[in-house]
A and B are shown apart, each in its own frame.
Chain A
Amino acid sequence: MTGLHTWSGLVIGWLLFAITLTGTAAVFSSEISAWMQPEVAGRGEPRQAIEKAVAWLRQTQPHARGWFLAADERIATVHALYEDRTAPRGYRTASFDAITDTPVARPTMGGQFFYRFHFELMLPNPWGRILTSAAAMVMLIAIVSGIIIHKRIFADFFTLRPTGGQRGWLDAHNVFGVLALPFHLMITFTGIVPLFKTTLPWGIVANYGADNATALAEFYPGLPRRGPSGTPGTLADIGPMLAEAERYFGGGRIGRVNIAAPGDAASIVTIMRNDGDQLAYMAQALRFDGMTGKLIGAHTEDRPARKTFDVLYGLHIARFAPDVSRWLYFVCGLALAGVIATGLNLWLKAREPNKGFGHWLVARLNVGTVVGLPIAMLGFLWANRLLPATYLERSAAEVSIFFWIWAACSLYALLRAPRRAWGELAIVAALAAGLLPFVSLALTGRGLWHAMDGDRLFLGFDLVLFALAALAAVIARKAFATSGPIRLARKQEAAA
């Protein structure tokens, strides 16, 4: 059982660390998106923002196959996605708030990058999803086997002996793991569930065969079922449809608005309830005929199996979470990253001194991932501030910069003695996090110093960056304290 825990943890440890850390950042994906688009401040009502977005799309993208609008759960901003064959990925996005007539915000994936990376790893479909599902399943094995081999869960529940040796690392691993164990089990299990169509497709195949369309229609009864007619048409005013949807949701907010074939006589407007309103994901949806604006279908999800799935999914993506819960998701996510990082380090500690190739490689991969990934994530934010706002392909460039920085850090970690690399890269991380608020303030004019005027978003963001900088500085100090020439000198003195 110990072997199972050790080896299942090691093999997927680095991948899991990346999945966990980006997922933890994605808890605040709304805030990250808003920070990365300082031009839209989220002013006014989300409904007005939807109307602004539709008005603009009507003007500029009348022949797109579809417009997909998502109202943010927490910030009064609407992100519109529309097909554009000239774009590298085949679509573009534009962001609106209630006073945006023409989208001026810089194009960026924003917090959606961390969200997407978390389960797709930016690999072509379906490989990213298969890999993350497999990693989550192995993590569930690691967690359960970890509980079984931990013989003193209750006796050691509150025990942390920060000795610096293997004992201290094991205590830290246990504390991070045991204290937030309900969260770790919940997030791992609910992380496997949403990807069931990729990992366990046989239920669907047995019942529907190759008829994917029927399967989808029955899984999502709220979605439109007719294609474009080919005859041009004019979309009715969106305002009354939004008002009717709000009445139907009974005080609930509007979440997403999908407009299929907007320039066609058979266009359909689907309005979905905001996921921030309830635990379950996608609870209610209304369909309107695009030409007449008449309601043609309403769906409230109450089938037990679907509802169970939606609640599990909802628990994982935490769109429902009010402020305190959201911070707890964030902190528990960091604890899970801590379990993985300390676990990877323990593998080394338990095998020291060791000159083997495996030990050599694990030590270096640990540095490249545990410090390299956070630097790359910060680099993504830096790229957002430093790339010219008017550069059309900047969204893709930000993502490339993330991967180049991660690759550079991993290469550096391979070439350098691990103890040195730990300290040096931690200093880079501390500087990257600590200086970003100042650079951002200089370039955007929004920052910590404007909190008095009610700009709470930047206040929170900058404080988190400063906290991360402090954490990285502490890690750097510890790393240098155990690897520096001073300690070697002391050892020689002791020997003499």
Chain B
Amino acid sequence: MTALATLPLAFSGLALLSLSMDRHVRQAMARQHQARRPGGWALLALSLAAALLSDNWRFGLVEWTGIIAAAAALVVLMLTYRPRALSAAAAVGTVLGLIGWAYVGLS
């Protein structure tokens, strides 16, 4: 169940990347922040790391390419229908992803 780590981390990473773009910052009524873009890439990299460090990295990599599609779809849906909640959701996703990673790693 690596997805417990990869999905929330990928979601948060892509959410931050979307919020580094002016159009979506306006949608989310947030303020622009310079750290969002590197932060987004870092979370995406963390998500990929979680996928590659799973029991079978080959399966992990295939699954991850699907995970980022699903995560991006969630970001798009939130930007369209719940834009203001996106930055909070990104924070929650980061925490959940790290907890999920710890859970997957320990079990």
Which of A312-343 touch B at CB < 8 Å?
315, 320-322, 324-325, 328-329, 331-332, 335
- Let me know if B72 is at the binding interface, CB within 8 A: yes
Check if B76 sits within 8 Å of A328, measured CB to CB. Answer: no
Q: A279-B58, A324-B1, A324-B3 are in contact. Are A158 and B72 (CB under 8 A)?
A: yes
Contact flags (1/0) for A180-194 with B, using CB distance below 8 Å?
A: 101100100000000
Contact flags (1/0) for B9-35 with A, using CB distance below 8 Å?
A: 000001000100101100000000000
Check if B80 sits within 8 Å of A315, measured CB to CB. Answer: no
Of the candidates B18, B21, B24, B62, the one whose C-beta lies within 8 Å of that of A315 is B62
Nearest A-chain residue to B24, judged by Cβ: A158
Check if B79 sits within 8 Å of A328, measured CB to CB. Answer: no
- Let me know if B75 is at the binding interface, CB within 8 A: yes
Which of A165-217 touch B at CB < 8 Å?
175, 179-180, 182-183, 186
Check if B59 sits within 8 Å of A158, measured CB to CB. Answer: no
- Let me know if B73 is at the binding interface, CB within 8 A: yes
- Let me know if A159 is at the binding interface, CB within 8 A: yes
Q: A180-B69, A324-B1 are in contact. Are A158 and B76 (CB under 8 A)?
A: yes
Check if A183 sits within 8 Å of B75, measured CB to CB. Answer: no
Q: Classify chain B's interface size.
A: 20 to 34
CA distance A324 to B10 in the complex (A): 15
Check if A162 sits within 8 Å of B80, measured CB to CB. Answer: yes
Residue in B18, B76, B79 with the greatest tally of chain A CB atoms within 10 Å: B76
Of the candidates B24, B73, B79, the one whose C-beta lies within 8 Å of that of A179 is B73
Check if B76 sits within 8 Å of A331, measured CB to CB. Answer: no
Check if B59 sits within 8 Å of A157, measured CB to CB. Answer: no
What is the distance, in angstroms, from A99's C-beta to the closest C-beta of chain B?
Answer: 31
What is the distance, in angstroms, from B86's C-beta to the closest C-beta of chain A?
Answer: 10
Nearest B-chain residue to A318, judged by Cβ: B62
Check if B59 sits within 8 Å of A322, measured CB to CB. Answer: yes
- Let me know if B67 is at the binding interface, CB within 8 A: yes
Check if A328 sits within 8 Å of B63, measured CB to CB. Answer: yes
- Let me know if A295 is at the binding interface, CB within 8 A: no
Check if B59 sits within 8 Å of A160, measured CB to CB. Answer: no
Of the candidates A158, A279, A331, the one whose C-beta lies within 8 Å of that of B75 is A158
CA distance A106 to B79 in the complex (A): 48
Question: Contacts of B23 on A, CB cut-off 8 Å?
Answer: 155, 159
Residue in A158, A180, A182, A320 with the greatest tally of chain B CB atoms within 10 Å: A158
Closest 8 pairs (CB-CB, A-B): A328-B66, A180-B69, A158-B18, A179-B72, A325-B63, A324-B3, A182-B65, A160-B80
Would you mind naming 12 contact pairs between A and B with Cβ atoms under 8 Å apart? A157-B18, A158-B72, A175-B76, A179-B73, A180-B66, A180-B69, A183-B65, A279-B62, A322-B63, A324-B1, A324-B3, A331-B66
Footprint of A on B, CB under 8 Å? 1-3, 14, 18, 21, 23-24, 58-59, 62-63, 65-67, 69-70, 72-73, 75-77, 79-80
Instruction: Name 7 extra pairs, CB < 8 A, besides A157-B72, A160-B80, A332-B69.
Output: A159-B23, A160-B76, A162-B80, A180-B66, A322-B59, A328-B66, A331-B69
